[in-house]
Structure 1
Amino acid sequence: MKIRLLLVLSLFATSALHALPVAPSTPMSDAEKAQYATHVKAETLRAWNAYKKYAWGHDELHPLTHEPFDWYGHSLLMTPVDALDTLVIMDLKPQADEAHGLIDTQLNFDQDIYVKDFEITIRMIGGLLSSYQLTGDKRLLELADDLGHRMLPMFNSPTGMPWEYINLHTGAVRGNESNPAEVGTMLIEYGMLSRLTGKPEYYDKAKRAMVELYNRRSAKGLFGSTINIETGKWLDSTATIQGGTDSFYEYMAKAAILFDDKDCAKMWQESLPAINQYLADERPTGLWYGEADMNTGARTGATYGALDAFFPAVLVLSNEIDRAAKLQDSGYKMWNVAGIEPERFDYAKMKIVSPEYPLRPEIIESTYYLYHATHDAKYLAMGKTYFDNIMRYCRTSDAFAALKDVRTKKKTDSMESFFFAETLKYLYLLFSPESTLDFDSIIFNTEAHPMKKSLAAAH
């Protein structure tokens, strides 16, 4: 009786997941698209004004308590730096000018604080370089160069892979346990900094870190999830496309395109088949990507999540459009289980295992890439779903708040800078005319900061 009941429940769960909405391919008129773009722009302005009112000059706004928050005790103007190119792209000129002025006059990296290599690279260096390319303000490039120079000692490990934390004033480093994303998500930012300043050490050090990591792949062509950057030994052999590994793969593919780097192209061309062989998981409910042991290739888990949803975009760049579309359909099903996506989802059990939603952008990013590649109206419908649900569940009286639990829709007091840099930007670009930003002339870093291919050529 118990076995029969479990079987019935399993079949019910599977059929329920099949019954989740599929985005329709109903055409959306230019007027409807423009209306959504205008709506996204208005909500960006509303959230920006809340930041300005309650947290001006600080890293972030806590949207429920209206308290400012600084990551390291001293502000690095994280939200203004992360948001500036979004404000420029949306033509929110007064707001862009005020953010730009604040950065030009107040941003100071000579602070006795330890910062995280990954986050500071993608948000701060990426944001400064992108905004420099959009505005031409050399002060932004000078700030990026100053920060990059202060970060360089992090690469002085025995392997060349970066330490996890570095002190911006002293250059002292700490944190020898890292992961592929934190080691291998450097080349777009430091590579562009190298191209724009003419300083080859930026490119060389970031690329060496990526290559050193790549050279420690398993015989299956997979990477673990934790590595000691002093010894080069793996501490966890779990292979995934999840957070902690995700943008390492992304940067192989993107650096190959942005810099015409043949080594990166070769590394990515050799890595993608292993990802698709050992991590891809075809189920009755769709195509998913789970976990495997890097050494044996044996499957070790069946979870997918909000951060994994970046992968269809990378598949689009790799011209695997059909596979990208299938995976995106699965992500859309995951989103609709609770009406908004969870951080992690057990696709074998149709069960939410990490219920928070930190306002993540990745599923919207992949929607934008797929719409650009196919012009299939279903991706506009997906975008409407994402935006409408964020409005319904995350909107506050004057900003937006992350969700502690997508099942209960309970909010938590967080609105990270990536909400401006990525989530709102990708929503806006999805509904805007393609001329708003020429997709084919840029490569986005993992924080959605666009880098111009024309400026990335080797000197």
Structure 2
Amino acid sequence: MMSIRHLRSWILLLFLICTAVLNFSLSDPDSHLVRKKFLMKQKVRRMFYHAYDNYMKYAFPHDELKPLTKTFTDSLSELGNLRLEHLPQNYNGSALTLIESLSSLVILGNNTEFVRAVLWLSENLTFDVDARVNLFECNIRVLGGLVSAHMLATDSRNRFSQGTYKNQLLILAEDLGRRFLPAFSTPTGLPYAWINLKYGVMENETTETSTSGSGSLILEMGALSRLTGDPQYEAAALRALRKLWSLRSSLNLLGTTLDVVTGKWIEYSSGIGAGVDSFYEYLAKAYILFGKDEYWRLFQSAYVAVQKHFRHGPWYHEADMRTGHATYWQLTSLQAFWPGLQVLVGDVAAANSSHREFFKVWKKFGVLPERYLLDHQILHPTEKYYPLRPELVESTFYLYQATKDPWYLEVGESIANSLNLYTKVNGGFASVRDVSTMVLEDHQHSFFLAETCKYLYLLYDDSFLLDQNYIFTTEGHPLPVLAAWHDRLPEVYTSNYTFLQRSNLVRRTSAMSMQICPAITVSTNNNKKGDQKRESLCHVADARSDHRCLSDEDCGVDATSCRRRSCSIAGYCGLWLFV
């Protein structure tokens, strides 16, 4: 038996060891951060494969998984089809979730499964099917998934053995793109919202479309044109985008829905949520991907209008496009993408402010409800669901990339824990039908694998981004930023690494950080010390209802010159002069 003296010695030794470990952890916070990232990366990896493996087991090659019953749904023709009208009779799916998972497999490092999936699609996928689909949804999910995966399959990493991959995904993408083109044969150039993949535009097809549906096609169709050398895809998308912008109000605002034949607006209320969201997103991202100044000019005008007429503190309400008067005071889950877009163009402070409010609502319910009435601080009476949407984690990822604030890692952990607690079931991950009761719905949307899991994983492991700049489409599919696609491309987008100067701090940044906060040179006649570096493309002030400021924080940075503005004693914002 151990003596009392020996026992005390062992206790003392154990105490000293624990103290040393604790002191090491406290003195080396980086090691704690590395461990947290590693553990969270593994947790998210398990989440992805729980969703993916169950899809492959119970639903493939159909479109999406029904995780509660472990069956499937051929849902491509149902996306955006709220009334479930004109559903096909002999459509058996297009492996939608597999297509959506391709780039996620690459980001997770599973090249073996990626190759297997590409070869299966090459041999089995066809779009010669009698199915009426939503042009926007099919574009961002299927065409975007194929174009992105093609570019990943042909990059320098040689994922395929020599001669195995022969541009099969690009051939499929071009076939799909050709089937889209009849939708653009309208007097306005705005595309029909619906197209039959086999027969084109159906007789008596609805002429109503959304701003997002007609103005968010340029990334995928533009990339298809650049890859194939056929300009007609990009030309069709660009014509629609230009026409849509020409229909804006005198306030530079656009409504939610309009008629593709007459160009007349149907719904004048607008915001940054459903029906409009990706229109703003694609203006900024098209500028980065294709380098056309036209996209940036449009985005600046549109962004200033949003800040002036929609923003109320950290929130964004909806307003009449003609008058700017508020119409609906509500949070919609799709709005949560906005902070990520603001980070992409450098408006980090405003992004952080809105993101924190979205996360407060997430914590209140455990997930983010589809609609939350801000003026009454209650759930919308009918839209109480959460379909595994990615927007909040997407913005969390962008904000962490820009700031490296470990708080965003904790946000990601909270989101992952909520998803595992409330939505994980034996057969995958299920949507939430009612966030007040957490009753589940039998549907695992393909974007859960394309976006939600992907952005969560990138939050903790961004190694995919270290050697190449990417633009992520609104469905989370990465498209590399290539100098060959630009008339002129800022050097910051093409170099692999850069050093950014912040006061006396020099730090190395990843390619994604460079993309978010490109270091640009601002010249001014008042600058006696030479050019100044700014880590921003554009900051815009929070325009108060009376157009007056209370502090410098209200003024931001001038949208055209990127010069900092300050609040005068009289309460007006003015340009700050370099000294």
| TM-score, with length taken from structure 2 | 0.72
Match of 1:120 in 2: 138
Correspondence for 1:253: 284
**Distance in 2 between residues matched to 1:264 and 1:45, nearest whole Å:** 38
Distance in 2 separating the partners of 1:410 and 1:313: 29
Letter matched to residue 464 of structure 2: T
Deviation at 1:99, TM superposition (A): 2.2
- Residue 456 of structure 1, CA deviation: 6.2
State the partner residue of 2:92. 74
Match of residue 189 from structure 1 = 220
| Deviation sequence 1:343-393 (CA, Å, 0-9, x none) | 111122221112100000001000001111111111111111111100100
Q: The residue matched to 2:93 in structure 1 has which SS?
A: coil
Moved more, 356-365 or 310-319: 310-319
CA distance in 1, matches of 2:305, 2:64: 39
CA, structure 1 residues 160+236, in 2 after alignment: closer, same or farther (shift >3 Å)? Answer: same
**2:251 is equivalent to residue 233 of structure 1:** no
Task: Give the equivalent residue in structure 2 for 1:13.
Answer: none
Per the TM alignment, residue 398 of structure 1 is displaced from its structure 2 partner at its CA by 3.2
Aligned counterpart, 1:92 = 110
Secondary structure, aligned partner of 1:300:
coil
Indicate if the aligned counterparts of 1:195 and 1:456 stay in contact, CA closer than 8 A: no
2: CA distance, partners of 1:163 / 1:390: 36
Indicate the residue corresponding to 1:242 in structure 2.
273
For the residues of structure 2 that align with 1:456 and 1:194, how far apart are their CA atoms? 13
Asked if 1 retains the 8 angstrom alpha-carbon contact of 2:292 and 2:486, the reply is no
CA–CA distance in 1 between the matches of 2:168 and 2:302? 39
Report what 1:363 is aligned to: 392
- The match for 2:498 is none
Query: What does residue 474 of structure 2 align with?
Result: 446
Q: Structure 2 matches for 1:372-383, cutoff 5 A?
A: 372-383=401-412
1:257-284 deviation line (CA, Å, top 9, x unaligned): 11001111111011101101111112xx
User: Shift of the alpha carbon at 1:341?
Assistant: 0.8
Change (3 A) 1:128 1:176: same
Q: Deviations over 1:47-86 (max 9, x none)?
A: 2111111112110111111111112433111001011110
Superposed structure 1 runs of 4+ greater than 3 Å apart:
none
CA 1:458/1:321 → structure 2, altered by over 3 Å: closer, same or farther?
A: closer
SS of structure 1 residue aligned to 2:459: helix
- Structure 1 residue 153 corresponds to structure 2 residue 171: no
Amino acid in structure 2 at the alignment position of 1:104: S
Mapped pair 1:274 → 2:274: no
Q: How many residues align?
A: 429
- For residues 275 and 35 of structure 1, the distance between their equivalents in structure 2, rounded to whole angstroms, comes to 39
- More helix, by proportion: 1
Partner of 2:235: 204
- Residues 211-263 of structure 1 deviation map (CA, whole Å, 9 limit, x = unaligned): 10011110111111110011000011101111110001100111011100111
Q: Which runs of 5+ in 1 are unaligned?
A: 1-25
**Equivalent of 1:403 in 423, 432, 435:** 432
Q: CA deviation at 1:455?
A: 6.8
Q: 1:163 aligned to 2:192?
A: yes
Structure 2 partner of 1:290: 317
Partner Cα separation in structure 2 for residue 219 and residue 374 of structure 1:
36
Larger radius of gyration: 2
Instruction: Give the C-alpha shift of residue 337 in structure 1.
Output: 1.5
How has the CA–CA distance of structure 1 residues 455 and 182 changed in structure 2, closer, same or farther, with 3 Å as cutoff? farther
> Percent of pairs identical after alignment?
38
Write the letter of the residue equivalent to 2:148. S
Structure 1 distance, partners of 2:302, 2:397, is: 24
Deviations 1:68-125 (A, max 9, x none): 1112433111001011110111022343233223211111011122111001000001
CA distance in 1, matches of 2:434, 2:484: 42
Quick check: 342-351 or 202-211, which moved more? 342-351
* Aligned residue type for 2:318: E
Deviates more, 1:89-98 or 1:300-309: 89-98
Helix, strand or coil for the counterpart of 1:109?
A: coil
CA contact (8 A) 1:315 1:324 kept: yes
Distance 2:484 2:99 in 1: 21
**Residue 343 of structure 2: aligned partner:** 316
1:163 and 1:178 in contact (8 A); partners too: yes
1:221 aligns with 2:249: no
TM-score (norm 1): 0.91
Question: Is the 2:104–2:450 Cα contact (8 Å) retained in structure 1?
Answer: yes
Letter in 2 for 1:238: S
SS at match of 1:29: helix
Q: Which residue of 1 aligns with 2:173?
A: 144
Structure 1 partner of 2:39:
35
CA distance in 2, matches of 1:314, 1:306: 15
Residues 190, 243 of structure 2: 8 Å contact kept: yes
Compute the displacement of 1:439 (Å).
8.7
User: Aligned to 2:374, which of 340, 343, 347?
Assistant: 347
Quote the offset at 1:437 in angstroms: 2.4
Equivalent of 2:207 in 176, 184, 187: 176
State the distance in 1 between where 2:330 and 2:361 align: 11
Q: Which moved more, 1:347-356 or 1:435-444?
A: 435-444
User: Deviation per CA, 1:23-44, whole angstroms, max 9, x where unpaired?
Assistant: xxx9751111011111111221
**1:110 paired to 2:110:** no
Q: Deviations over 1:328-351 (max 9, x none)?
A: 011101111211110111122221
1:307 match: secondary structure: helix
1:394 aligns with 2:398: no
Which structure 2 segments of 5+ residues have no match?
1-28, 78-90, 155-164, 488-579
1: CA distance between counterparts of 2:428 and 2:147? 27
- Tell me the distance in 2 between the aligned counterparts of 1:402 and 1:91: 27
2:354 is paired with a residue of what secondary structure?
helix
Whose RCO is larger (CA < 8 A, sep 6+)?
Answer: 1
Q: 2 CA distance for matches of 1:398 and 1:363?
A: 24
Which amino acid letter does the alignment assign opposite residue 328 of structure 1?
H
Moved more, 216-225 or 171-180: 171-180
**Are the equivalent residues in 2 in contact too, given 1:259–1:456 (CA < 8 A)?**
no
Structure 1 residue corresponding to 2:465, chosen from 434, 437, 445: 437
CA distance in 2, matches of 1:311, 1:170: 37
Amino acid at match of 1:451: L
Provide the residue aligned with 1:18 in structure 2: none
Matches within 5 A, 1:299-338: 299-338=326-365
**1:84 alignment partner AA:** L
What is the alpha-carbon distance in structure 2 between the residues aligned to residue 96 and residue 233 of structure 1? 45
Aligned partner letter, 1:54: Y
Structure 1: how far apart are the matches of 2:118 and 2:250?
Answer: 48
Kindly indicate whether the alpha-carbon contact (under 8 Å) linking 2:212 and 2:278 is maintained by their aligned counterparts in 1: yes
Q: Residue in 2 aligned with 1:415?
A: 444
Amino acid at match of 2:141: R
Q: Secondary structure at the match of 1:163?
A: coil
1:347 & 1:36 partners in 2: Cα distance? Answer: 33
Could you tell which deviates more after superposition, 134-143 or 212-221?
134-143
